[in-house]
Amino acid sequence: MNRYEELARTVVIHKKNRLMRYSDALELVGKGRSAFVFRIKSSDKAIKLFFPGFMHLAKEEAEIYHVLQNISYYPNIYGAGLNYIVIDYIEGLTLFDCIAQGQLIRPNHIKEIDYALLLASKQGLNPSDIHLRNIFLTTNGDIKLIDVARFRQQKNCAQWNNLKKAYEQLYRKRFFPKKIAATYLNGIAFLYKKGFIPSYRMK
């Protein structure tokens, strides 16, 4: 059994996706709708452990990362198993955290994200599920995109176009606050997902 497999087996996720146990060699750094993400301590790698009902995404996301391997905007992948993948740990803030902490998002960052998505499209992928928690501004000022599991879905995803629109129409305006509390941001995301913000529909 390799080291990644050993680490993956220390993670116990119970029903209702409750995290029960994990190795001391891991540090919990994030949780999404389908997985817990840990930094492998004293390394520059992260292990994403999928919830039991989302295990099939491990193979899917691993395959997509392999397609993206030569594009610097996406983390490298180092291994994968039945319910996990191992990728670069990204040092920095997600765009969600940037807004929550008042770290400015500049127009060139938006251009870079666009370019990163274009490069993925050129590989035959269909970038989807592009939201604020899946985009990092690294401590070096670079853009990194994660969570590519849905990049092979067929249906079109309007999220990135909506985010760009909000960036131009709101965020860039002088009056618009550059720091918004996480609870408000989550509230806006909730309304958006429910389709309650008419000019920013998901489809």
Residues that bind ligand ATP (CB under 6 A): 29-35, 37, 46, 48, 75, 87-90, 94, 129, 133-134, 146-147, 149
* Residue whose beta carbon is closest to ligand ATP: 30
Question: Does residue 192 contact residue 127 with C-beta atoms inside 8 Å?
Answer: no
Which one of Mg ion, ligand ATP, none is in contact with 60 (Cβ closer than 5 to 8 A by kind)? none
Q: In what order do the strands lie in the sheet with 143-145?
A: 92-94, 135-138, 143-145
Task: Classify each residue of 50-89 as buried b or exposed e, where b means 16 or more C-beta atoms within 10 Å of its C-beta.
Answer: bbeebbebbbbbbbbbebbeeeebbbebbbbbebbbbbbb
Cβ distance to Mg ion smaller for residue 110 or 130:
130
When the beta carbons of 61 and 147 are compared against Mg ion, the nearer one is: 147
Size of the site for Mg ion (CB under 5 A): 3
Q: Cα–Cα distance between 12 and 52 in angstroms, integer?
A: 10
Q: What string of H, E and C letters represents the secondary structure of 121-165?
A: HHCCCCCCCCCHHHEEEECCCCEEECCCCCCCCCCCCCHHHHHHH
Q: Which residue has the tokens 């039991």?
A: 52
32 makes contact with Mg ion (CB under 5 A): yes
Active site (annotated) includes residue 129: yes
Min dist CB 31 to ligand ATP, Å, is 6
Q: How far is the CB of 35 from ligand ATP (least distance, A)?
A: 4
88, 97, 129, 142: the catalytic one is: 129
Select the binding partner of residue 46 from ligand ATP, Mg ion, none (C-beta < 5 to 8 A, by kind). ligand ATP
The residues assigned a catalytic role are 129
Chain residues that interact with Mg ion, rule: CB under 5 A:
32, 134, 147
